Amino acid sequence: MDLRALIREIPDFPKPGILFRDITTLLQNQAGLKYTIDILAEKCADLAPDYIVGMESRGFIFGTPLAYKMGVGFIPVRKPGKLPAAVHSIEYQLEYGTDCLEIHQDALQGGCRILVVDDLIATGGTANATARLIQQTGCELVGFAFVIELKELQGRSHLPDVPIVTLVEY
């Protein structure tokens, strides 16, 4: 299946000069969504994760059904103040300023195998921060899975040396 045909391109969003890759058109296509989850599960099977960790918010969209398909649990990584129990936090640099991600302290037990999932890898900042957050839990990062990779931004060069699965490259 040609996933590129299901991903809408929106020029000048969210600001002039940006070509936004919109996954909502992929999500609304039943066959495309099923194919995406099925192929991610197939490509990630050998990584044998115990949990899928997905970043807010599009990582939830792909991570939860992938966890279901692979028969493992799903753990959300959220922006500050969204999780109700004690959290591990990580602050990371953005192009202009900083941001923060959090995970429940009791979500993962040390030694678990973790696969990080998101819709897209661009510069790799959020994925790298999530990897560092997972280190705080004492778990093993076994890989990353992304539906889209923007190769020109070289985000994978900022990630730990683990397998990286992508389905569509631009």
Give the residue numbers annotated as catalytic, written as ranges: 58, 95
Distance CA 67, CA 86 (A): 24
Q: What is the CA radius of gyration of the chain?
A: 15
Cis? peptide before 57, omega within 30° of 0: yes
128-147 core/surface letters (b: 16 or more CB in 10 A; e: else):
bbbbbbbeebebebbbbbbb
Cis? peptide before 160, omega within 30° of 0: no
Tell me the CA end-to-end span of the chain in Å, nearest whole number.
16
